[in-house]
Amino acid sequence: MRTLHINKNKLTPQDIRRYNWYIWRTVIAGFVFVALMIALTVFDVFGQLPAFRDLENPKSNQASEVISSDKKILGTYYIQNRSNVTFKELSPNIINALVATEDKRFYDHSGIDFGRSFTIFLHLLVGQKQGGSTITQQLALNLFSERAANPFKRVIQKMQEWVTAVKLERHYTKQEILTMYLNTVDFGAYNTFGIKSAARTYFNTTPDKLTPDQAALLIGMVNGPGIYSPIRHPANAIKRRNLVLNRMDEQGYLSGGQVEEFKQKPLGLDFHQNNHFDGPAPYFRSVLKKEVQKIFRDQNIFRADGTPYDLDRDGLKIYTTIDATMQQYAEEAQQEYMRNLQVQFNDHWRGQNLAKSIHNFKFLMNQGMLKSDRYKQLKMEGMSDEDIKTNFNTKDTLNLFTWHGNIDTLMRPIDSILYCKMLLRNALMSMDPTTGYVKAWVGGTNFEHFKYDQVKNGTRQVGSTAKPFTYAVAIDNGFSPCMKINNVPDTIRGYGPPWCPRSSPSETLKGLITLRQALAHSQNWITAHVMGEVKPEPVVELIKKMGITSAVPPYPSICLGTFDASVFEMTAAYSVFANHGLWTEPTYILRIEDKNGNVLYNHTPKVVQAMNPQTAYVMTYMLKGVIEEGTGSRLAYKYGLRNPIGGKTGTTQNNSDGWFMGITPQLVTGVWTGCEDRDIAFQSTRLGEGANSALPIFALYMKKVYANPALGIKKTVDFDAPKTGVAIQLDCGQYTQQQQGTTEVEKKLDF
């Protein structure tokens, strides 16, 4: 007979009910705990949540953009190189890649994917990563906080993300959330933040043009920008890209055949590392930044909270007058000719003892050393002057600028100082004389190596480019361009010691010549004679009306350009001739907007009637003579520019500065060339004169401008005569007859 054993461990109905109650109580407690945590989070117990206003204006560092007149981005100011885009500016490929990889149920949830989220807490508490965050939650984290390392703090942070994510979903559309996410995400090294910056950095394109494989590569970097970097780890980047392509296939964004085709493609990078000196017009952008900051200070333009705007963080949009195409032409013209001119310069100095041939050589070298970044760094490190001198005389690997690209070479730092001293510098500014809009600005030869702007910040002696100011005063006083003067020395007295300029025998025209010929051939003696007639004070007054702010003392020698001025000032001054006597303030800022499109500043240029319209028109006739028969004639015979162009060459003492000022009815351009120090220059006037060192850059630039009809700068346009007519005789044949009393009227009256 079998004995029955009763299992004493068998649960009774009462036990089951009790255990069920424990389980439900735990679950309810968990729900209550989560609800309480969420409630405490909503009421900022664990830290203040971003307000709705902050959601609309996230506090992410955003680059300010410099925008050309033809709507191209010239460059950015940034701490983080981040520029925002709108949803319309995004390729569907980047959206599809993001959703397929990061949040495939993005369009179905309201900010939180509860299917994944409730498992996160357990993983966080045991220190394991769990990818349960939706795109909206990731956006919340990207916008407002750093990811906490402590797992318990991370739980609280996750609550904050949830609440913020729900706010985002309530107040923004799905499209807006995707756009904000792509504008804030970090794409790793090279200072690349946001999809716009990433597209430009890795593929030199815009977000709307990203192909599926390009989009897959960039989205693949989101969760591991270091390990999936296509620059540092290309194999990893390809694997990750292909994974994203597979997910796009799974979600129906691509077909299997397309995926396989894209997988076979190489990375196809067109990498452009972001630097502040990258892009066109770096000198202009450096000057512009300081100018914007000055405008904000002077006009008390502040953010809503009363703090100053930060161009590196606040995402401003600065609309400028620079034409990106004309800027490109100007930079190309400089590079094309300066490469050749530097060869001429080097050849004519080759074999000479520079220390003996260059005035103040030791002083210049010592000053160059003291001003160098290397010297300042060594001084900060506490090195003595003797040790620094030894350092400068010890060979080291140095990066040098050349017209064929930067090179790394082994040389003594002191020799690199001399190398830079012997490099020619160049600057160009081009503007519309009627509006004052600056179209091109080339402030130097290479901003990476030589950051000093020579357009506005630098002033140099202007030489013969000042002569038209004296002639303009004479024309205004009734002189005719056809008036003939004997080209002999003319001494001026009454302004200190008697003054008479020199004139090169080989360049002096003999006998009686007209004022137009005298200006065309830059004759010093006749210019001095005219100055003696009109006196220095009215010339200084005119120069100041024409926008020259540098000191111009009222001495006769100013007729030969013994004063200093900038390319900026001289170009604006010459615009008076082309603009009916009106000086229009050079304008390069149109307006400034904040990141939300609110206008912070609009520029209104100043306009001054600096000169009689008739005088200005007669001066265009005089300046055309420089091109037709004078020192600027190579513009026609060598470069084929025979349309209505006026101009003036300028060469200062010892050939330290070469100038060319070119005027057309639609464009006025100033060009300067010289070395950093005036004691270092061409030894030959044939090489150092403005006709050889500056004019060719103007010629190459204008040929490119004329060849592009879209720019609207036409060869067929001539300077307009004043509406009131011209009383001054410009026909020298008629003028001569009048002077000799041989007009038909005079014959009939028997004068």
Return the minimum-mean-pLDDT range out of 89-93, 145-149, 224-228, 312-316: 145-149
d(CA 180, CA 495): 70
d(CA 152, CA 125): 7
Tell me what the pLDDT averaged over the chain comes to: 86
Let me know if residue 57 belongs to a domain.
no
Nearest alpha carbon to residue 280 among 328, 321, 318, 326: 328
Return the minimum-mean-pLDDT range out of 392-406, 633-647, 693-707: 392-406
Final residue of a domain: which of 264, 285, 313? 264
Let me know if residue 747 belongs to a domain.
no
Q: What is the DSSP letter of 439?
A: E
What is the Cα 405 distance to its own chain's centre? 20
Confidence of residue 56 (pLDDT cuts 50, 70, 90): low
Let me know if residue 277 belongs to a domain.
no
Confidence of residue 154 (pLDDT cuts 50, 70, 90): low
Q: What confidence tens digit (pLDDT) does each residue in 403-439 have?
A: 888 888 899 999 999 999 999 999 999 999 999 999 9
pLDDT value at residue 462: 96
Confidence of residue 77 (pLDDT cuts 50, 70, 90): confident
d(CA 328, CA 343): 23
pLDDT of residue 61 exceeding 80: no
Q: What is the DSSP letter of 186?
A: B
d(CA 428, CA 439): 11
Token pair in block for residue 728: 């001054």
Q: Is the dihedral of CA 34, 39, 45, 47 positive or negative?
A: positive
pTM: 0.77
Average pLDDT estimate for 151-167? 67
pLDDT of residue 128 exceeding 50: no
Final residue of a domain: which of 208, 243, 264? 264
Average pLDDT estimate for 470-487? 95
Contact 228, 221 (CB under 8 A): yes
Strands (E), 517-639: 564-565, 582-584, 589-593, 599-602, 607-609
Half-sphere exposure of 162 (CA within 13 A, CB side): 23
Average pLDDT estimate for 670-696? 95
Position 62: which residue type?
Q
d(CA 275, CA 52): 35
Average pLDDT estimate for 446-459? 91
Let me know if residue 121 belongs to a domain.
yes
3-state secondary structure of 238: helix
Let me know if residue 38 belongs to a domain.
no
Token pair in block for residue 410: 């082994």
Q: What confidence tens digit (pLDDT) does each residue in 303-355 have?
A: 888 889 988 889 999 999 999 999 999 999 999 999 999 999 999 999 999 99
Confidence of residue 166 (pLDDT cuts 50, 70, 90): confident
Residue 489 belongs to a domain with what CATH number? 3.40.710.10
Nearest alpha carbon to residue 631 among 653, 662, 656, 654: 662
**Count of domains for the chain:** 2
Final residue of a domain: which of 241, 264, 287? 264
First to last CA, the chain: 169
Q: What confidence tens digit (pLDDT) does each residue in 9-32 have?
A: 666 777 677 767 777 667 666 666
Let me know if residue 193 belongs to a domain.
yes
SS3 content of the chain, % helix, strand, coil (to 5): 45, 10, 40
pLDDT value at residue 221: 87
pLDDT value at residue 741: 58
Let me know if residue 311 belongs to a domain.
no
Q: Residue 668 is part of which domain span?
A: 426-733
Q: What confidence tens digit (pLDDT) does each residue in 549-586 have?
A: 989 999 999 999 999 999 999 999 999 999 999 999 99
Residue 108 belongs to a domain with what CATH number? 1.10.3810.10
